[in-house]
Amino acid sequence: MNILITGCSTGIGYHAAHHLKSLGYRVFVTARRSEDVDQLNADGFKVYQLDITEYSKVDAMFDDIIKLTNGRLDALFNNAAYGQPGAIEDLSVDVLKEQFETNVFAWHYITNKSLSIMRRQGYGRIIQNSSVLGLVAMPFRGAYNASKFALEGLTDTLRLELMGSKIHLSLIEPGPIDTCFRKNALAKFHKNIDVENSRFSKTYQIQIDRLSKDIANQFTLPPAAVTKQLIKALTSKKPKARYYVTFPTYLFGFLKRILSARLLDKLLVKG
């Protein structure tokens, strides 16, 4: 089976690529940094160095994959993303656009490129790595929340439009996973948020402390937990629309069904 996985430098993408390769999948991977590309090459992958928002390079990648696989792509795992922390009123339009460009628009472009191949061959699997923050919102995560809510809406709609075909879509919704996500989010926070002139300047210290911690909380799982659900989405005869990962996702998925918005807000505001 041929699969394309985006965002394989570290964490979820890196683990998924290696595990699927060990199972006999032919795995095509992407990474942005040259040192990560070198490592993935050394690990035996066909790797493409690109920022997924550079669409001409995405086109070239798909052209190459088509040549190497005789026009066949069995599965796509969209994973390359980042989180932009900060209060909504401290986010410039440009910063919000940047978040959506990577987490939504580039995924939409890659999904449609994959879909054109899958339409021709008559089957395929598209798995989107979403988040518990695609189910519920939490304060100071608005840009990321919005991008994942948008991703979920696009994926749900596409699943309806593909009903009756042999092309299946699934969302994976992890809570805290032991990756570089927090470190990368902290860098984006310092780059794009004017802390000193924000009405949330004191509150932000809590966010900085949270993102600076190297020690995971008690609910954090390793990337293997996501890979486990990815394999289910790839191999099930009737894949689910959503696969939860980590206790917080199960908890908030349940609470969203049974609590009023007001009660749920009281819990989420502490998040």
Residues that are catalytic: 144
Could you tell me how many residues make up the chain? 271
Residue 20 is classified by DSSP as H
Reading the block at residue 92, the tokens are: 């410039």
Reading the block at residue 115, the tokens are: 């879909």
Residues 20, 3 contacting (CB under 8 angstroms): yes
Q: What is the largest CA-CA distance in the chain?
A: 57
Residue at token pair 């979403």: 130
Number of alpha carbons in the 13 Å side-chain half-sphere of residue 256: 13
Contacts of residue 153, Cβ cutoff 8 Å, sequence gap at least 6: none
Short-list 196, 234, 208, CA closest to 74: 234
Short-list 78, 55, 93, CA closest to 134: 78
Q: Residue 75: helix, strand or coil by DSSP?
A: strand
Q: Residue 173: helix, strand or coil by DSSP?
A: strand
Please give the Cα distance from 8 to 127 (Å, whole number): 15
Residue type, 184: N
Residue at token pair 């959503």: 242
